[in-house]
Structure formats: structure tokens, C-alpha cells
A and B are shown apart, each in its own frame.
Chain A
């Protein structure tokens, strides 16, 4: 569908936790309707912030360990990372401009 980075339990630490730049991960699943509304927004943001913020998605059906570690029980959930630490979490579908505000915060401080 797109070339958006898909992370797994195996490469999550390497790609996200140890990323040189801030990151945002979209936790989703095929059975989740609202996830399908957030998916295209996340893809757009991945293109717009390429090289500045690493934007990725993780299928919670295929990967159980990472969502478990972050206590995710509602999707879509977006988690923002900086220096391997969680800086912010958005639960539920939100408009693009709201998500973008959080991305700008990641770059600001």
C-alpha cells in the first residue's frame, strides 16, 4: 500500500528506541475502523516529516510484545518518542492538525 516503515517486536528497539531522530508509531490493526481513518494521515505525515521524524506503524495483531509493554488496550494509539523515551500518547482517531502539533513539539524542544 505504501512504503511507510512497518516496525515489529524484533526491530522496534533498533528502529524507534535507538533512533537518532524523534519518532512516532501508529499502533493499528486490520479490524479497527477508526485506524483506517488515521492510517492515511500518518502516511502523509511520514512523507512531510521525512528525515526529521521517523514515522512508523505497528500491527498489534502480528506483534504482541511491544503493545503489551506500553499497555496499549485501545487503538488507534499514537506514541511519540524522543531519545528512546515516550513524550506523548494520543488515544483514538484525531485530526491531522492535532497530530502535527505534537510532531512540532517533538522538534521544538
Chain B
């Protein structure tokens, strides 16, 4: 039996793993895809301390992975398909095997939320995108729409201006949520045109995005913009498939913890974007991960 199994190798999971490995716990980190998490889609991280010039999301995660492995943390590429949370042990079922641990840390992360409007599903991969750094260069000299008004929406809109002739930034309110520095940059960028108080109602096109239908939430007026791409950054949803109903969650499915990162089930901890909290950043995920590993270790000591 493992002391600790950590599920998900983003910033929170890799930090928890680093702490657990340094604490000489018999720990295992499981990852369904490859270490990194959502940060991999970030072109440039400039608010993670220690990198004054900023660092690419990919390089930052390579460093975190290398650092965890430096302390002999085993990382295995397996997809978790089920959990059994018993008082005496926690069972983790993967697509390959059945593993047991005294404690668990859930660092499953989050995924970009979809709009849920007509045309969206049909046109994913054909102009609808949730990752500007993956798909931006396909839109050279074209016009695109960016949906959202937070940090991610503005960062990605600014990234897209390297390729496109125009970004229509569509936001449902008349004010942005994004950090002031990003707002200033976006306002100063000629290629970004803001469309306020507006929500998308339909994405147009059959074999590729041809346009977007918009509705002004104040006047009810319907408008259309001709765009070849629609980039959606309206927040995230928790990757909760394997934990749904097993631990206490908030109304959006994020996992509720106390300040020790412990969930409603003793010995099951949660850290990073999966956790119910306001600010989802690499820096907050790292703090969560350290706390979760610390209190998981305490839990394991008390069990023994």
C-alpha cells in the first residue's frame, strides 16, 4: 500500500509530489496525459515569482517535473477511472490496475468551459478553439472573436494579435474582470475591438466558422460579425468525472476543502484548480499543493 497517491500532475500535483518525496513518503503521482496541466497552453507566464523575465508555460512545467523527479517521485501515465474511499484505505482504479493508499490528494485540475450555444460542438476543430497558443497561427490575416473578459481572455486576445488582422473581444458586461495591467495592454492594442454588454448566441458555418451571431444583453439587439475563428475563454469547469458525488462539492462541482486542503472525507485532500476557491493561478496551485502534502503526511502519521 502506498502512503499517498496524488492524481494529476499540474502545478499543484507536482508540488505536492515534491513535498511528499522530500518527506520520504511512499508516494505515487498519476497523470492521464503528460505532466504539465493547463499551464502548457499558456504562452508566457509572467506572474509566477522567480522568473523576472517570465517563462513559457511549457518550460515552467518541465522545470517543476524535473524538480519533483530529482527527489525520486515516481510519476506514472495512467488514467484514473474510479475511486473507492473507505475509512481504512483509499482505492484508486486506473485503466491498468488497482492501487491502494492511506491518503489521496486530488489535483485533477480544470478544463475550459464551453459556451453551450448552437454551432459550438459542430465547429470544434473547425474554427472554435479554447487554446490560442495552439491554434492562433492558423488565423494569419483573418478576423476572430474572443469571448470573455478575464485574464485568460485578454492574454489570449493579445497573443492572437500577432497573427490576425482583428480581434472582436466580446464581453457580457461593460467592465473587464482582468487584472489592470492586461486591461491597459488590451485597450492600447489597435487590433482589439471591444464589444460590450454582448453575448454570443450562435456560431455560424457548416464546415468551418464563418461568423458569429451576437445579442446585446441591454437592448436585445441581434448583430452578426464575420469571423473565421471563435476563441472561448469564459472560465473553467472542474475535471470531476471520477470524484463526482464522492466528496462535497460546490454548486459548480469544485471540491470544497478546509484550510488544510482536506475534503469532506478524512485522508482525501484536494489542491489547485479542482478546489473551490476564487483565484486560480500557478502560484495559488503551488501553495495548495504544499499544504495538501503537509497535512496528508500528518494524517498518515496519525493513522499509523
Contact of A36 among B58, B125, B126, B135 (CB under 8 A): B58
Interface stretch, picked from A15-23, A49-57, A70-78, A80-88, is: A70-78
Interface stretch, picked from B36-44, B177-185, B244-252, is: B36-44
Q: How far is the CB of A34 from chain B (nearest CB, A)?
A: 6
Given contacts A73-B129, A73-B208, contact A33 B33 (CB under 8 A): no
Given contacts A36-B58, A94-B33, A97-B95, contact A74 B135 (CB under 8 A): yes
Interface presence of A41 (CB below 8 A): yes
Q: Find chain A residues with CB under 8 A from B77 CB.
A: 95-96
Q: Do the beta carbons of B131 and A73 come within 8 Å of each other?
A: no
Given contacts A91-B124, A97-B79, A97-B95, contact A75 B135 (CB under 8 A): yes
Q: Find chain B residues with CB under 8 A from A47 CB.
A: none
Q: How far is the CB of A51 from chain B (nearest CB, A)?
A: 24
Q: Do the beta carbons of A33 and B42 come within 8 Å of each other?
A: yes
Q: Do the beta carbons of A37 and B95 come within 8 Å of each other?
A: no
Q: How far is the CB of A69 from chain B (nearest CB, A)?
A: 12
Q: Find chain B residues with CB under 8 A from A75 CB.
A: 134-135
Q: Do the beta carbons of B138 and A73 come within 8 Å of each other?
A: yes
Residue on B nearest A67 in the bound complex, by CB = B138
Q: Do the beta carbons of B34 and A77 come within 8 Å of each other?
A: no
Report Cα–Cα, A38/B33, bound state, in Å: 8
Q: Do the beta carbons of A40 and B137 come within 8 Å of each other?
A: no
Contact with B along A77-109 (1 / 0, CB 8 A): 100000000000101111111100000000000
Q: Do the beta carbons of B36 and A95 come within 8 Å of each other?
A: no
Q: How far is the CB of A36 from chain B (nearest CB, A)?
A: 6
Q: Find chain A residues with CB under 8 A from B126 CB.
A: 71, 73
Q: How far is the CB of A6 from chain B (nearest CB, A)?
A: 19
Can you name 5 A-B pairs with beta carbons within 8 Å? Answer: A32-B134, A33-B41, A33-B133, A37-B34, A73-B129
B residues engaging A (CB < 8 A)?
A: 32-34, 36, 40-42, 56-58, 77, 79, 95, 124-127, 129, 131, 133-135, 137-139, 207-208, 229
Q: Do the beta carbons of A31 and B137 come within 8 Å of each other?
A: yes
Interface presence of A48 (CB below 8 A): no
Report Cα–Cα, A75/B79, bound state, in Å: 22
Interface presence of A9 (CB below 8 A): no
Report Cα–Cα, A93/B77, bound state, in Å: 14
Tell me which of B34, B56, B57, B77 has the highest count of chain A C-beta atoms within 10 A of its own C-beta: B34
Report Cα–Cα, A41/B34, bound state, in Å: 9
Given contacts A40-B34, A71-B208, contact A34 B40 (CB under 8 A): yes
Q: How far is the CB of B301 from chain A (nearest CB, A)?
A: 34
Interface presence of A29 (CB below 8 A): yes
Interface presence of A35 (CB below 8 A): yes
Q: How far is the CB of B227 from chain A (nearest CB, A)?
A: 12
Contact of A37 among B33, B127, B129, B207 (CB under 8 A): B33
Given contacts A73-B127, A73-B208, A95-B32, contact A37 B135 (CB under 8 A): no
Q: Do the beta carbons of B33 and A74 come within 8 Å of each other?
A: no
Q: How far is the CB of A91 from chain B (nearest CB, A)?
A: 4
Q: Do the beta carbons of B79 and A95 come within 8 Å of each other?
A: yes
Given contacts A73-B127, A73-B135, contact A33 B79 (CB under 8 A): no
Residue on A nearest B39 in the bound complex, by CB = A33
7 tightest A-B CB contacts, nearest first: A37-B34, A91-B125, A33-B40, A95-B32, A73-B138, A32-B134, A33-B58
Report Cα–Cα, A98/B95, bound state, in Å: 10
